[in-house]
Amino acid sequence: MQVQEVRKLIAQENFRAALLGAKSFHLGVTKEQRSAIIRAYECMVFPDFYRSIGKNIHECINSGISVLKEVVG
């Protein structure tokens, strides 16, 4: 997925699809930013697992969305 498509999904507030599309981004994204994006998506898809290992689901998702908006602009 290209950056323009992710921007469109963010504008539509379809964050799950936007995070899914951005998971594969490597250029211009730090390892930490990419990890936050991936974790946010996975918390949306597998919330019970992440809750079981002590993660705050809403915090991880909000953090990933913030990073996504920062990276994609």
Question: Residue 44 is part of which domain span?
Answer: 3-72
Provide the CA 51 distance to its chain's centre, in angstroms: 17
pLDDT at residue 73 is higher than 80: no
Alpha-helical segments (H) within the chain: 3-11, 15-22, 31-45, 47-52, 57-72
pTM of the model: 0.91
Number of domains in the chain: 1
**Could you tell me what percent of the chain has a pLDDT over 70?**
100
pLDDT at residue 27 is higher than 90: no
Question: How many CB atoms within 10 Å of residue 37?
Answer: 26
- The predicted pLDDT at position 14 comes to 97
Average pLDDT of the segment spanning 21-37: 91
Torsion angle in degrees (nearest 10) through CA of 53, 31, 15, 58: 30
